[in-house]
Amino acid sequence: MSGRPWTQVQSAATKVKELVRDRVGLTFVTYSSNAEFTKADNIQGMRASGSTNFVATFGKISEHLKKLKDGGSSPLSKGIKEVHISK
């Protein structure tokens, strides 16, 4: 992404939110030195930093999938009925 990549991410998050409205639970995983679940509205107030900790990001996604596999829920689980995880 040339130009202002973080501004493009913020615009994309807003557009996705507008497109899906309340039909799908929409939560993003943001990351820098750590990873967190967040809503599209929160992305607008965030600032980009120079860190990109992909290990933390995939760890957060794995945490979410394990909760779903065990029958629990997480911030990403609205509307998800079933999850299969292969090794």
**pLDDT tens digit sequence for 26-73:** 778 888 888 888 888 888 888 877 677 888 888 888 888 887 777 766
What's the pLDDT at 79?
A: 52
φ/ψ of residue 20, rounded to 5: -90, -20
What's the pLDDT at 87?
A: 46
What is each CA distance from 17 to 34, 43, 50, 58, 65, in whole angstroms? 24, 11, 26, 23, 22
How confident is residue 75, by pLDDT bands cut at 50, 70 and 90?
A: low
Question: CA 11, CA 43: separation in Å to the nearest integer?
Answer: 9
